[in-house]
Amino acid sequence: MPVTVNRSLRRLSAASMYSGGRRRGIVIEIHPDANGLGKPGSGFIGLRLSGIRRCYYLPVDWCFREAVRADLARTRAERKRLRAEKKARLSGR
């Protein structure tokens, strides 16, 4: 069941990066409309390092579109690899 986000959410992910001489956790922020930065109903995902103020925002629809493209590219590459393996097996007889 989908959940509608009506207010900004902030969570610390399990992932971390090395920055400024130490390991910093990655903070994920979800904004329903990013304070009027986008069209109504469009959300933004903010990414930043723990202890760092600079936040990078990505539109949710763009994130979804890129995730689908990456999945299609991965599937296409897997099919191509399987075809090449099958062709190599058949020609090796």
Predicted local distance difference test score (pLDDT) of residue 91: 84
Cα distances (angstroms) measured from residue 15 to each of 11, 24, 25, 27, 78: 11, 9, 6, 9, 27
In angstroms, rounded to a whole number, what is the distance separating the alpha carbons of residues 51 and 41? 30
What's the whole-number mean pLDDT along residues 66-85?
95
Predicted local distance difference test score (pLDDT) of residue 93: 60
pLDDT in tens, 1-30: 666 667 888 999 999 999 888 999 999 998
Q: Select from 18, 13, 72, 16 the least CA-distant residue to 45.
A: 13
Q: Domain residue spans in the chain?
A: 9-91
